[in-house]
Structure 1
């Protein structure tokens, strides 16, 4: 459901008495129903989700987070960490009743060590913050396809980038995490300190505490060969079959997606795209210019209408996928596939022909994504070779049910090729069974949840029990 209009004074709900206790202890660091800032404070990036917690806390320091967690537990409330709210629909699965959302939007900052090729990132930071800090040093990071996604939520839930087939999941770049645990303690977790907690949070994320900072490894790329190829959707059958055949032999240096986009007639779109359906291949090839051109040659032989693949600054890679730059009401669904036969391409084309869907996508994974890391955490790899992914917009609350049905039906078309795997960063509500995302780690995660958070203080987008 989309966020409602700002509540009128006559309709403002009474604050929960427990929230009043928070206000007494935390003052302006907490926003309650009835406050002038309430509707803005509770609004997530995915504005299709109507978040109505007991309160929203807005820390600016790690010490603020300690106070907030202690005050919330003393008041008998649960805590839901949230950096941006891209995963708001997944968090809504666990419910907002008895919950304080801890919005980390004000806890942002990045410090780069160019010699060690690492960065210390505060808990509310976005990937754009990291790219801005690392670019002057000729470095980059394993970010996703949108720069306004939080580093913590993305990385600690796995993280699939256009570097992934070469370098694996972003979670394996995490060297240490500083978080506030259920007892209100500020602790550091790494391979050397609190190693069980470090294992759990790399996959279990917000289920184990409020992450106030993390240290990540960086990638030694000042520039990359990346871009997109675009055709009219009438070419989709030819392009999709060529891409499927190409991915069967392409080296691990190439990470790409295939999408059919049904673009609405919006004035902010270029005139040649507004209102059109197009088929797009985008991504990166971590090779020299000549070697990358050779890899892409079979796709370029299809004479795309637009070809932007070129050597670009590494920070520009975040814009290649053209994710919306502003909060957007949307619903999504996905599944992981282990093969992509011709019948699966037919399913992709059927899904893409449904103009109710904004996007129907296949992401090529495999390679380093599928290889577990010896010193990894609860999630260090993901099975499968492709992800099927569907997205549609929810312009008004009444459209939510139909939109949800549309993305589910699109992904269901691939059911003969589904495997028991899950891309946790793609989970967007809908009662997804996270157990298949954790696999054999799920039982140990549950044990550690009971050990570190026996009262189930933390409510997370990715619950581990």
Structure 2
């Protein structure tokens, strides 16, 4: 059977939430995600209010020839290759939160964003492995990896996950962990939404009462000396220290603090799991350059949520990203030819994160996204409210890609916001194992994550199974 208006009307009688289609007045608002440039038109959207709604939606899609895509906050929606034949199951209302201080674990519904739980954790002297934006949903962030401020010490968030509640292709709710369907548990931690719709996630949190963190703000024209100094000390920095350097061009709007409003800066950010004395010594080579603004202090973990100053509201944008095995002086020069002083760059954010430490090690029991290869991760974006700006931004993003090409060794899928060949995100053995898991748990390809994994067939399944 195919999806029809009558079949969707029948589904609407089986769920407690809503089934939203293009005929509804709020269709555009409901289907809109964080990136307003992603104009996706699914067959329909189910606004689930509980797990029973998710089960019903998955069963309906399976029985009516539709694919399924899970969604909570709409981040990275532009990575979908197409959703016209897809029922989007929106879990934004699954917002339960439970924190167990004794076990050091948090359990949240799939609609919970980091901003909903990080303050509670911080008040309890705990920290999670969240990233730069508190507005990002925990489930989607974790399914793709999750690289945040404590990643060099504790690794990717995906590998701090201890259990998922997930509705699979049999239209049943399963608890999946290291002891229950361990192959599916492995695949979910890095396989994005290709194996089911996650309704809840349980993960380890870490005892952190305070840490040394902040930023050193320099005028844009000092970008070369800041980047050169930072990259020279990066190889010797301890795992307890995570550092990012970002070229910002702040808009002239009231939401931006007065010292930064309308200005262009090179900002060195760091978060250190240790004392103020130790932290100050580690960042001293950059501080000695003489920043215009210094915000470093001992802070509670909640301060990390907004430290990167990511825009809180949805906006239309285009982006690029790359994992780099090095960023030598020549690389810095090439980057600044595109985004430095006098380059005329329209890109408000060009960020480079230091990798290594726990990000470079595969720990026992890790998921499919076990490590982040390389020494640095680049991410850049430009706002595209109209056609002319989109053309200009695309040109600068392409030039930035060319600038770092000699050192490019891959991409981090959570930052790849366009349809891509997902096999390029993994080594060959991991990719074959993911396809084997897909063949076992979703052989018909019901679920389509924002980076699609197709099921293996024939002898490929056997070879991948033997490799486990």
> TM class, shorter-chain normalised?
over 0.9
Q: CA deviation at 1:121?
A: 1.1
Correspondence 1:220 to 2:207: yes
Matched residues in 2 for 1:194 and 1:220: separation? 29
Pairing 1:102-141 to 2, within 5 Å after superposition: 102-141=89-128
Runs of 4+ with >3 A deviation:
14-28, 397-402
Who is 1:76 aligned against?
Answer: 65
Pairing 1:138-217 to 2, within 5 Å after superposition: 138-217=125-204
Matched residues in 2 for 1:34 and 1:27: separation? 19
Q: Is the 8 A contact 1:257 1:283 kept in 2?
A: yes
Query: Residue 119 of structure 1: SS of its match in structure 2?
Result: strand
| Deviating more after overlay: 26-35 vs 176-185 | 26-35
Q: Is the 8 A contact 1:352 1:359 kept in 2?
A: no
Who is 1:433 aligned against?
Answer: 421
Who is 2:459 aligned against?
Answer: none
1:311 to 290, 293, 298: 298
Correspondence 1:301 to 2:285: no
Who is 2:464 aligned against?
Answer: none
The superposition leaves residues 67-99 of structure 1 with CA deviations (integer Å, 9 ceiling, x where unpaired) of 1111222222111101111111112xx201111
Query: Residue 190 of structure 2: SS of its match in structure 1?
Result: helix
Normalising by structure 2, what TM-score? 0.92
| Deviating more after overlay: 397-406 vs 410-419 | 397-406
Who is 2:362 aligned against?
Answer: 372
1:57 to 38, 43, 46: 46
Matched residues in 1 for 2:193 and 2:420: separation? 17
Correspondence 1:335 to 2:322: yes
Matched residues in 1 for 2:16 and 2:123: separation? 40
Matched residues in 1 for 2:29 and 2:270: separation? 35
Q: CA deviation at 1:401?
A: 4.3
Q: CA deviation at 1:397?
A: 5.0
Who is 2:273 aligned against?
Answer: 286
Q: CA deviation at 1:38?
A: 1.2
State the Cα RMSD in Å.
Answer: 1.7
Who is 1:38 aligned against?
Answer: 27
Structure 2, unaligned runs of 5 or more: 455-468
| Deviating more after overlay: 41-50 vs 16-25 | 16-25
Q: Is the 8 A contact 2:228 2:332 kept in 1?
A: yes
The superposition leaves residues 120-142 of structure 1 with CA deviations (integer Å, 9 ceiling, x where unpaired) of 11111111122133223211100
2:398 to 369, 384, 408: 408
The superposition leaves residues 98-156 of structure 1 with CA deviations (integer Å, 9 ceiling, x where unpaired) of 11111111111210010000011111111112213322321110000100101111112
Q: Is the 8 A contact 2:17 2:53 kept in 1?
A: no
Matched residues in 1 for 2:254 and 2:283: separation? 32
Paired residue total: 448
Query: Residue 207 of structure 1: SS of its match in structure 2?
Result: coil
